[in-house]
Copies of this chain bind each other. A is one copy, B any other.
Amino acid sequence: MTQGEAPARSTRSRPTMREVAALAGVAIKTVSRVFNGVPTVDPAIVTRVREAADQLGYRPNLTASSLRRGDGRTATIGMLVEDAANPFSAALTRTVENVARARGVLVLVGSLDEDPARERELAQALVDRRVDGLVIVPAGRDQSYLINEQRTGTRMVFVDREAGLLDADAVVSDNRQGALTAVEHLIKAGHRRIAYLGDRPTIPTAAQRFDGYRHALEVAHLPYDEAIVQQVPAGEEAAVAATKRLLELPDPPTALFTSQNLVTIGALRALRALGLQDTVAQVGFDDFPLADILNPGISVIAQDVEEVGRRAAEMLFHRLDGDESPTRTVTVPTRLIERGSGEITAGGPRHD
């Protein structure tokens, strides 16, 4: 801890157009015109106003401006994600920010931690600040509380999961198809006893991925066995425990489909702890950094997070530009990345 020299006093308050106008010897409205680039102002006066503004350190007040302006736009959008700190949310935020920045729009961010009450509170807080639009990764299953905001002009796009009880645009990954691909890939490697490890099915994406898992088994005429299905609250520890439970079964699975990021990591920790990482196959849903450098590399179904974020932001701004076409749900495909763990063949004890 170091001490600074002088206290940073806040003495004067911020200068307003009135003061700039007084110093430049013009009317307030003229200052307004200068800062809005209205061409019908005498160049000499423009210079005079700009100099006065610089001298005072004047900056236009965008909140006042947006209040008075016809459209009431704040050049700000709100973004509600699961957790600003997790890689998926962070990547999404960044992509949306990039699109927004190109239009001079800033992004307010809030983390929901899968809590529907918090979703509602934060959405309201954003609406109260009159954001022009919202990008939401919903935590709850009911967004009907936004009907009124939607009707009164707040544009919104849902990401990763569709809105519940609300007709709104959405951009989602193809969860079901991704899961299907993952499980089919394991089946192709000869596995007939494939475990499912994932989030609880109350989370829509988890339900869709689980659905893809079951569908893949069905297509391959493999039996569905509840004993090797673990739907646990997301989190590494829970996933580690669940994986251990599965592998200690008398009749353990020869492959794992882990349908969420933290679950994937938990499972691979468990496999390593048991020395089974080269024996039991694994495909995870969602890519993560360093997945390629592990031994074996972790095969995953990768979501195209950038594409999802970009499409969502573009849809939102399209709406803000006046697009009144029917709402759409855009589905972004996923991609299988083979790195080793998913290509381990069924070598252990066979069960057919």
Determine if B330 and A1 form an interchain contact, defined as CB atoms under 8 angstroms apart. Answer: yes
- Please name all residues of chain B whose beta carbon is closer than 8 Å to the beta carbon of A67 when the two chains form the complex: 61, 63-64, 67
Residue of B nearest to A148 (CB): B57
A90 touches B97 (CB 8 A): no
Judge if A93 is at the interface, Cβ distance under 8 Å: yes
Set of chain B residues within 8 Å of A91, measured between Cβ atoms: 85
- With both beta carbons as reference points, the residue of chain B lying nearest to A11 in the complex is identified as B151
- Chain A 1-44 interface residues, beta-carbon cutoff 8 Å to B: 1-15
Partner of A129, one of B76, B85, B124, B269: B76
Q: Does A99 contact B (CB under 8 A)?
A: no
Give A291's nearest chain B residue, CB to CB.
Answer: B290
Question: Is A130 positioned at the interface, with any CB of B under 8 Å from its CB?
Answer: yes
28 contacts across the A-B interface (CB closer than 8 A): A2-B329, A2-B331, A3-B326, A4-B168, A4-B169, A4-B327, A5-B326, A6-B167, A10-B150, A59-B124, A61-B67, A62-B129, A62-B130, A67-B67, A84-B84, A84-B94, A84-B97, A84-B109, A85-B91, A86-B90, A90-B90, A97-B109, A97-B110, A106-B108, A108-B108, A269-B293, A290-B294, A294-B294
Bound together, the chains give a CA A288 to CA B9 distance in angstroms of: 40
Question: In the bound complex, what is the Cα–Cα distance between A289 and B83 (angstroms)?
Answer: 16
| A151 to B8 Cα, complex, angstroms | 7
- Report A80-122 CB contacts with B as 1/0, cut-off 8 Å: 0001111101110110010001001011111100000000001
Which residues of B sit under 8 angstroms from A268, Cβ to Cβ?
A: 293
Say whether B9 contacts A324, CB under 8 Å: yes
Cβ A94 vs Cβ B111 within 8 A:
yes
**Chain A interface residues (CB < 8 Å from chain B):** 1-15, 57, 59-64, 66-67, 74-76, 83-87, 89-91, 93-94, 97, 101, 104, 106-111, 122, 124-130, 148-153, 167-169, 265, 268-269, 272, 288-290, 293-295, 324-331
Which residues of chain B come closer than 8 Å to A293, judged between CB atoms?
A: 268-269, 272, 294
Q: Which of B94, B109, B272 contacts A85 (CB 8 A)?
A: B94
Please indicate the chain B residues that have their CB under 8 angstroms from the CB of A75 in the complex.
129
Leading 4 A-B pairs by shortest Cβ distance: A4-B327, A57-B148, A85-B94, A90-B90
Taken together as a complex, chains A and B put the C-alpha atoms of A7 and B326 apart, in Å, by: 4
Question: B106–A107 contact, CB under 8 A?
Answer: no
